[in-house]
Amino acid sequence: MGNTFGHLFRITTFGESHGGGVGVVIDGCPPRLEISAEEIQLELDRRRPGQSKITTPRKEADTCEILSGVFEGKTLGTPISILVRNKDTRPQDYDEMAQKYRPSHADATYDAKYGIRNWQGGGRSSARETIGRVAAGAIAKKILRQVANVEVIGYVKRIKDLEGVVDPDTVTLDQVESNIVRCPDGELAERMIELIEQTGRQGDSIGGVVECVARNVPKGLGEPVFDKLEADIAKAVMSLPASKGFEIGSGFAGTLLTGFEHNDEYYTDENGEIRTVTNRSGGIQGGIANGENIILRVAFKPTATIRKEQKTVTREGEETLLAAKGRHDPCVLPRAVPMVEAMVALVLCDHLLRHHGQCEIL
């Protein structure tokens, strides 16, 4: 259960880190959208390991194949299935894992839930699962761009205690991609990279915060009650591996203001558009987009897999020590950026179709 996401634009991911492969089936995609494997690959390449010196040296080409739903370069309206084969497996790296539970990993909970587990790597809890999300997100982004010129841009806002200065209203994808840590604050990016490298050399890991902005989101997207736009986005990003917190707009800091200080006053702009002076709401009021930029942040914990030795237990409960042998990211943040973008785009695209279906028919 729980491998499907979305209501009208709906994706189902499948696959473990070891086995035949990972992928996604996208149901409900509008027909006649031009899309190619190359476009999808671009996003997958932003996600893939081994892309830079601060990500895991595992070489996973992660080449995607579109199995269905696209014909002569256009979507058919039928399910788009995308498959990425698994490669470069080094099962010997994982031998210990058949026995020992990695701290703060899902090994023990999968065993508790299912009574069985593919112990050759993370199995279904591996970050490889996000390949399907990012592939689907590439399509969602294209629909959003085409229908409403929506842009979804994520970036590293903070690595441990190094916090960048970035203006969400103007940041560009080029700026994000200008360095390997994906922090558009260039100077700080250098220090972040240094910190990640140094931490990796120590066999340890660090976390941080990804911020994401969605611009040009049409007013009216979102739903009033359970499927509030911020609720669906919260679920979307909190379902990413290693995420521990979520904020929309003013977030936790907003709780330190009074209502008078916090409220976003309205005005009418030069085009007669109703706007807000400030944007502490983060672009959403009552669960529905108000036309301002949607701004959100996601906290990612330090990578659980580290080379430093830690106490743990075996499947049978015997106490033991474990030092990870595989090749792992000392910091997931740079690769988390396209994942966050994908999840936000999936939510917005689903709500775009839902809104169109219900509210633009009479």
Taking the C-alpha atoms of residue 107 and residue 305, their distance in angstroms, rounded to an integer, is 12
**From the CB of 76, what's the least distance to its own copies, in Å?**
6
If the CB atoms of residues 92 and 146 are measured against its own copies, the closer one turns out to be 146
- Residue 346 CB partners (closer than 8 Å, separation 6+): 5, 6, 9, 11, 133, 136, 137, 140, 236
Least Å distance, CB 147 to its own copies, is 6
Which of 45, 52, 96, 103 touches its own copies (CB under 8 A)?
103
Judged by CB under 8 A, the chain residues 293 through 322 that form the site for its own copies are: 299-306, 308, 310-313, 317-319
User: 44 or 143, CB closer to its own copies?
Assistant: 143
CA 214 and chain centroid, separation: 14
d(CA 64, CA 41): 7
Residues 6+ apart with CB under 8 A from 87: 60, 61
| Number of residues located near its own copies, criterion CB under 8 A | 159
Annotated binding-site residue numbers for FMN = 124-126, 286, 301-305, 327
Nearer to its own copies, 50 or 291 (CB): 291
Among 39-47, 51-59, 96-104, 171-179, the segment contacting its own copies (CB under 8 A): 96-104
Which residue of 49, 280, 293, 294 would you call a contact of its own copies, by CB under 8 A? 280
Q: For residues 7 and 10, give the distance between their C-alpha atoms in angstroms, rounded to a whole number.
A: 5
Q: Of residues 207-266, which lie at the interface with its own copies (CB under 8 A)?
A: 207-209, 219-228, 230-232, 234-236, 238-239, 241, 243-252, 254-266
Task: Give the span between the Cα atoms of 50 and 354, in whole angstroms.
Answer: 38
Do residues 325 and 91 lie in contact, with contact meaning Cβ atoms separated by under 8 Å? no
**Residue ranges in 59-88 that form contacts with its own copies under rule CB under 8 A:** 65-69, 71, 74-81, 83
Interface with its own copies, residue 114, by CB under 8 A = yes
Q: Is the dihedral of CA 274, 279, 284, 289 positive or negative?
A: positive
From 80, 334, 88, select the one nearest 192 (Cα to Cα): 334
Site for its own copies in 136-175 (CB under 8 A): 143, 146-147, 158, 160-161
Question: Judged by CB, which is closer to its own copies: 178, or 261?
Answer: 261
Helix (H) or strand (E) holding 247: strand 243-248
Min separation Cβ 218 and its own copies, Å: 9
